[in-house]
């Protein structure tokens, strides 16, 4: 009986069929295609983080396989002259590929997606009205629900808020998210313009983070910058994992609303 093909084995077999080509990095070094298997732990790590809060019907192996596809695409499209490290570029491509897989599964009910957009619009409306991030009580009042019902709503839409902040840029022609990683390798824009957009996005995020509550800011910083899990963040802040998830969801929806307003203006 043949051994079960794991995602890692599938990746190894796919790599072995290809020639040992190389890709230049920003410092003149090269990324050997045969060495891509060394990045499989990164793929599994990203898949594990994105799997937090997902229903059990979503198979981890499917996410890892999608991440491996993103890793291979990262190798194929990587341009070391852009001044971006391969690991950084690959991480974004892997994450984007897994998110694409999740969207393709369409496991989030339409009603949940609609509720997510409603919360996002309400956040944007109240932030414009108050000049600050609204409290949860204010959000519940505007949504015409009790605070308990509000928490249930946030719990329900938490999975629909998976969109990475790295994917929250919007194009000029429509309101579809454009992965920021794609702007890094755009062949249609001079590098100076790309760098300007990246700096503008960084400044916008920094400004937006300054408008959310201290707890939300800490959750975002610990999750996206320190790369702690929701459980680990809960231990640091002495909060339950579900409460951290609620704070993360509210913060991400608020930041997405700000980015949408900026890029749709």
Predicted pLDDT at 248: 87
| pLDDT at residue 177, as a whole number | 44
Residue 153 predicted with pLDDT over 60: yes
Q: What is the DSSP string of 161-173?
A: G---GGG-EE-SS
If one compares 110 and 131, the residue with the highest pLDDT of the two is 131
pLDDT over threshold 90, residue 69: yes
Predicted confidence at residue 12, as pLDDT, reads 45
Q: How confident is the model at residue 212 (pLDDT cuts 50, 70, 90)?
A: confident
CA–CA distance, 219 with 236 (Å, rounded to integer): 10
Q: Are 223 and 209 in contact (CB under 8 A)?
A: no
Virtual torsion, Cα 191, 192, 198, 201, nearest 10 deg: -140
The structure's pTM equals: 0.58
pLDDT value at residue 141: 96
What are the backbone dihedrals phi and psi of residue 22, each rounded to the nearest 5 degrees, phi first?
-130, 155
* Domains of the chain from N-terminus onward: 7-105 (1.10.1740.10), 110-264 (1.20.140)
For 170-184, write each residue's pLDDT tens digit.
443 444 444 433 433
Residue 181: its pLDDT value, please? Answer: 38
In this structure, are residues 220 and 245 in contact, taking their beta carbons and an 8 Å threshold?
Answer: no
Secondary structure (DSSP) of 57-92? TS-HHHHHHHHHHHHHHHHHH--GGGS--HHHHHHH
Instruction: Give the HSE-up count for residue 62: Cα atoms under 13 Å, Cβ half-sphere.
Output: 13
Q: Given this model, what pLDDT does residue 146 score? A: 96
Q: What is the pLDDT of residue 209?
A: 73
The predicted pLDDT at position 238 comes to 95
3-state DSSP helix/strand/coil percent for the chain, to nearest 5? 70, 5, 30
């Amino acid at each position: 009986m043949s051994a079960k093909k794991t995602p890692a084995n599938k990746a190894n077999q796919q790599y072995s069929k290809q020639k040992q080509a190389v890709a230049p990095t920003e410092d003149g070094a090269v990324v050997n295609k045969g060495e891509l298997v060394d990045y499989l732990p990164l793929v599994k790590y990203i898949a594990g983080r994105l799997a937090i809060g997902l229903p059990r019907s979503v198979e981890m192996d499917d996410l890892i396989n999608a991440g491996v596809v993103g890793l291979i695409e990262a190798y194929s499209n990587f341009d070391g002259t852009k001044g971006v490290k391969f690991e950084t570029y690959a991480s974004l491509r892997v994450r984007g590929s897994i998110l694409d897989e999740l969207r393709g599964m369409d496991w989030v009910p339409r009603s949940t997606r609609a509720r997510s957009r409603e919360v996002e619009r309400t956040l944007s409306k109240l932030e414009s009205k108050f000049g600050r991030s609204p409290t949860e009580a204010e959000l519940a009042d505007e949504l015409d629900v009790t605070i308990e019902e509000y928490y249930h709503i946030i719990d329900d839409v938490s999975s629909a808020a998976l969109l990475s902040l790295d994917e929250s840029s919007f194009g000029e022609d429509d309101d579809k998210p454009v992965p920021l990683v794609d702007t890094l390798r755009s062949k249609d824009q001079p590098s100076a313009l790309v760098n300007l957009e990246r700096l503008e996005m960084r400044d916008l995020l920094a400004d937006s983070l300054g408008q959310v509550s201290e707890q939300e800011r800490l959750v975002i910083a610990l999750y996206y910058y320190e790369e702690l899990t929701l459980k680990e963040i809960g231990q640091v802040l002495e909060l339950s994992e579900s409460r951290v998830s609620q704070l993360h969801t509210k913060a991400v929806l608020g930041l997405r609303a700000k980015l949408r307003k900026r890029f749709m203006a």
